[in-house]
Structure 1
């Protein structure tokens, strides 16, 4: 009787080992999840921007997935623009406009260079993730436009 129990336990153990080997990727992911380790995802550097539901632009869908963020839509997210007071955005020429941190609030800001701390930059906000945004003077108002 004891010999039969040992054989049954051996077969159960052998079955568990075979199952774990066959399903090793799933088992490893499960164990990592139980241990609190993050799943490693290898993403390509392809630029196919997507906007996540967190309103952040990701290089491609893989990077959004790696950040565990759902994709809201394909393309770059629109920048979050802080409401600005008229004199903060007034300009006569393009050189009057700048982008960086607001001297008072510290928020990423574009407008009249008198209100911008240009030594503290916000590259993603000022030029966009792909570098296609610029600040120019349009009808005496500093505006962020696609170049």
Structure 2
């Protein structure tokens, strides 16, 4: 019973700690900076050094989305690291097997990737291409 109570208290502390957590990330092109809260919600957006003035709408949108996605992924990983000890079985009480958490279902499959670029085109570049193509399509109509 003491082990269960200690685990419940630890979970409550972890939840309280995460409620105050945030993650700030700059886009790879260093044009924007985003901050997300503990649930991945966008809480701040800054345009850095006036770079946005020389960017197309598609480039700027791509930078914002790329930074937001990276920040959300980092925050999700922080949540996973915080709760990871509760997924392991208890050494003291064999009946406490730990919580089985499907992180992919909660955060999506990208959170479990190592962050390395996949072969071929990066996601943000594909997004910029799609936005650019959409803008061209509108002018052709």
* TM-score after normalising by structure 2: 0.27
Query: More helix by proportion, 1 or 2?
Result: 2
Query: Relative contact order: is structure 1 or structure 2 higher (C-alpha 8 Å, sep ≥ 6)?
Result: 2
Q: TM-score, normalised by structure 1?
A: 0.26
Larger Rg: 1
